[in-house]
Structure 1
Amino acid sequence: MTEAYPSDPSGLTRSTLTRLLRTMDPVAEVDTFSVVGGQFFGNGENKVSTAGRAEVEIQRVGRPSRKMVVKLCRPDVPLQPLYRNEVAFYRYIRPSLDLEIPMVFGADFDEESGTFGLILEDLRDRGAQFPNATTPVSREQLRSLLDILARLHAHFWQNPDLLGRLSVIQSHTEGELFEFFMAPDSVPALVRSEIAAEQFKRELVEWIGTDEAVLYDAVRRVQLHQATLPFTLCHGDCHIGNTYLLPGERGGLLDWQLAARGCWAHDVSYVIITALSISERRNQEKELIRYYLEQLSRHGVVQPPTMEEAWHEYRLAANWCLYIGWLTTPKTHYGVEITACNVIRLCAAVADLGSVSLASGLPPPPPFAW
């Protein structure tokens, strides 16, 4: 019988942390540790949604003491597909990437208990700040994030490893992660519940002239369409709150639970729309897409999308960003202001870009099959 990972930092032990560290360093051993803080589930002020974070000072045998962050599973909601997926990213993909992504010291998913643990560097040691939809992001900071995405996407552009040895990272159209988000009785049921319960979500969806069923259909159509385009490794959940900013206008990418094989536009649309105010986005989005395409070419993609093709896919991708990205999210996770700001920005973008009507011209999806 294996040892389950705790959902609360009070359950951390030397043996648990040693077990986690040894997934990346077979001889690692924890001498002493102390929990010095963290972000956990509660009243919406801790800005956590799918995993808690314990801030831990760890003294490894023969190593200097170091502050680390331990990600822990939720105690109340079964999110095993997300935990399994993030562990796969940090175990099999992160070690080979020379990108601004947190350094990983340990990553494990325990199949028997359905629990997981991740040990990551504490980014605050490098002066990191953590933006969200209510904080300003400069043009240079956003371009830095787009450059990281271009480097990531270029590295995995039509890369056969994603169909072979790295196929543990699933696509947007099949597998347990797809079923988790798109099976009608799973996340779509949560969207329906949120729209029914939260008047601001209900009225914003009404304001853009649509409803949950139409948005669901739009997302399914877009996913099937974009699965026919050149594939790459997507961050998968690239809203501005899953990024960090370092001194010198540099940025990085956090929280890889939704990493997937998919279309580049999935990431680019989400970070642009959530990072900028409505007026900033309207003024800058085309220039930012051009910048991303230039970087994609610079980092080795021989035939990147044309601007016309990119604009089309960017507009389509906005459907997922609204429907799955933030209509699902209860305000208790991030607080009212961050939640409302994201939903407002995404509704405005979907309306401005004609995303729903554009998706309606795509072939209809087949009935969902389990």
Structure 2
Amino acid sequence: MNAKVQLAAKAATVGAHCLAERIRPPAVRTAADVPVSGRRVTAEWLTAVLCRDVPGAEVSSFTVTGGSRGTSERVGLRVVYNDAGRVAGLPTAVFTKATAGFAQRMLLGGADVISGERHFFMGLRQRVDIEAPQGYWAAVDPASWRSITVLEDIAVTKGATFLAPTTGFTKGEIVDLVQNLGRLHGPLWGAPAIATLKTPRQYSENTDAFLDFRKRAAVGMQRSRELMPPPLLGEADRLHDATIRSMQLSTDSPNGTARTLLHGDCHAGQTYRTAAGAMGLCDWQGLLQGNWAFDVAYLINTGCEPDARKAWLDDLLDAYLDALAGAGGPRIAASEALLTYRQHAFWPYTAWAFTIGRAVYQPKMQPVETCLTLMRRTAAAIHELDAFEAVGV
């Protein structure tokens, strides 16, 4: 209850800031300022954050090229520099992600992942060789939970197309993606640089503080009951208990496996394909530290149709393990990897169960079709992998 009281108090503070910003948006001139939205940036602020390492460079002008809203507000920008900026090759095609609204701030701030992209793009991104956007600036205002990230617009720079999560991966696509995860996890395996990030257990506790995900996931099961494997129907409480156990295992592995940097929200809808055919990962807001299989199980179980997952699983785990070892991580035995993967089958399901099981006062974070497709895939994985046995629930 204390957590809920604290969150209610924070909600009042954030709401007051949102109201004040509507009346008088904050001025944004220096890198210390956090704009309300990409639509509220100025050439002076863009100069401060994009030209900070190039003496004499300035942003001459910029135009807004469009945008969208979801868990964050996204705004495309085309930036024009003076001669010094052009000669330095500073980025001209960028987009911003901002927590412009109250619901966005409470969703990301309440789960305590609002600083994820700041951690990734302002330090950790440079330590991993993966296909992911470059980030140029990220900042959070802790009082109002305003946040903004300035990123490479990969649709322009790489001809990237974003994959619909309902389509399902080809084998080549998912192999490429799990190899990306190996190259993400390996260099930061047990690294002190990730020690301040939240663990999966803390993430679930923070989420539950403002969203009763046991109840919401049970509602989600009812709303998708026609897609559920019959043995799982009526097992909402057991699924919740297994999810909690899985998050504990991801935080403190019983075999002493070190934590590594996790994407944290590595579902099929966070992927893209470049014009050159490379597969990449985007949306780094949910950054965590924990067991490698948290990401791998989430990606495979949300992105692969059940028959494809069963046919490809051994090859996918082998591809991941080879990439992990090649990037400086440990060499994990195949039998140990399979057990750990099975233990992590629950969060991929629960995340989508409580998303479609939302209450009327909660924002609609994902389309119903996406939720139903990913619940069907992830529920099948729990059943077919005998995942309850793997966590002892």
Give, in whole Å, the separation in 2 of the partners of 1:26 and 1:241. Answer: 39
> Following the alignment from structure 1 to structure 2, what is the Cα–Cα distance between the partners of residues 114 and 131?
30
Deviates most, 69-78 or 194-203:
194-203
2:98 counterpart residue number:
72
Secondary structure at the residue paired with 1:113? coil
CA contact (8 A) 2:76 2:95 kept: yes
Q: Please state how far the C-alpha of 1:312 moved relative to its aligned partner.
A: 0.9
1:123 matched residue in structure 2:
154
1:259 equivalent in alignment to 2:287: yes
Match of 2:340 among 313, 324, 328: 313
CA contact (8 A) 1:140 1:249 kept: no
State which drifts further: 222-231 or 196-205.
196-205
Residues 202 and 271 of structure 1: CA distance in aligned 2, closer, same or farther (over 3 Å): same
SS at match of 1:105: strand
SS of the residue 2:115 aligns to: helix
**Structure 1 residues 118, 206: closer, same or farther in 2, change over 3 A?**
same
User: Hey, what's the Cα distance between the residues in 1 that align with 2:263 and 2:217?
Assistant: 25
2:97 pairs with 1:60? no
Whole-Å separation in 2 of the counterparts to 1:337 and 1:25:
47
284 and 59 in structure 1: CA distance in 2 versus 1, 3 angstrom threshold:
same
1:263: Cα distance to partner? 0.7
Alpha-carbon distance between aligned partners in 2 of 1:260 and 1:24, rounded to the nearest angstrom = 29
The aligned amino acid for 1:310 is A
Give the AA of the match of 1:243: T
Match of 1:334, SS state, is coil
Distance in 2, Cα, partners of 1:69 & 1:256: 14
The aligned residue for residue 13 of structure 2 is: none
Partner of 1:39: 68
Q: Partner residue of 1:5?
A: 35
Q: Deviations over 1:74-98 (max 9, x none)?
A: 5132122222122122112113333
Aligned to 1:14: 43
* 1:173–1:193 distance in 2 versus 1, CA, 3 Å: closer
* Maintained 8 Å contact 2:34/2:148: no
SS of the counterpart of 1:83? coil
Give the equivalent residue in structure 2 for 1:44: none
Name the stretch that deviates more: 107-116 or 189-198: 189-198
Higher mean C-alpha displacement, 136-145 vs 194-203? 194-203
Q: TM-score, normalised by structure 1?
A: 0.82
1:76-225 to 2 correspondences below 5 Å: 76-77=102-103, 78=106, 79-80=108-109, 81-125=112-156, 126-159=158-191, 161-162=192-193, 166-174=194-202, 177-181=203-207, 183=208, 185-187=209-211, 189-190=212-213, 192-193=215-216, 195-196=218-219, 199-201=222-224, 204=227, 207=230, 208-225=232-249
CA contact (8 A) 2:217 2:236 kept: no
- Return the offset for 1:14: 2.9
| 1:109 positional shift | 0.9
> Does structure 1 residue 352 correspond to structure 2 residue 384?
yes
Counterpart amino acid of 1:36?
Answer: T
**Cα gap change, 1:25/1:38 in structure 2, threshold over 3 Å: closer, same or farther?**
farther
> Which position in structure 2 is the counterpart of 1:30?
59
Q: 1:365 is matched with which residue? A: none
* Structure-2 residue corresponding to 1:366: none
2:225–2:233 Cα contact (<8 Å) kept: no
Q: How many residues align?
A: 342
1:4–1:113 Cα contact (<8 Å) kept? no
- Does structure 1 conserve the Cα–Cα contact (< 8 Å) formed by 2:228 and 2:380? no
Larger Rg: 2
Distance in 1 of aligned mates of 2:218 and 2:57: 48
1:198, CA displacement in angstroms? 7.7
Could you say what secondary structure the match of 2:114 adopts?
Answer: helix
Cα deviation for residue 236 of structure 1 reads 1.2
1:155 aligned counterpart, secondary structure: coil
Measured at CA, do residues 24 and 90 of structure 1 come closer, stay the same or move farther in structure 2, by a change above 3 Å? farther
Closer, same or farther in 2 for the Cα pair 1:19/1:285, shift >3 Å? same
Quote the Cα distance in structure 2 between the aligned partners of 1:138 and 1:130. Answer: 15
The code of the aligned residue for 2:373 comes to C
Question: Aligned to 2:264, what secondary structure does the other structure show?
Answer: coil
- Could you say if the C-alpha distance between residues 307 and 59 of structure 1 is closer, same or farther in structure 2, counting changes exceeding 3 Å? same
1:69 Cα deviation from its structure 2 partner: 1.0
Hey, what does 2:17 align to over in structure 1? none
Runs of 5+ unmatched residues, structure 1: 41-47, 362-370
| Higher RCO, Cα 8 Å, sep 6+ | 1
1:7-40, Cα deviation, whole Å (9 max, x unpaired):
4x44333344345436777876432111111221
Counterparts of 1:243 and 1:26, CA distance in 2: 36
CA distance in 1, matches of 2:275, 2:46: 31
Structure 1 residue 60 displacement after superposition: 3.2
- Shift in alpha-carbon separation, 1:112–1:145, aligned structure 2, 3 A: same
Measure how far apart 1:206 and its partner are: 7.8
| Partners of 1:22 and 1:106 within 8 A in 2 | no
Corresponding residue to 1:269 among 287, 297, 301: 297
Is the partner of 1:258 in helix, strand or coil?
Answer: coil
Change in CA separation of 1:197 and 1:282 when aligned onto 2, cut-off 3 Å: closer
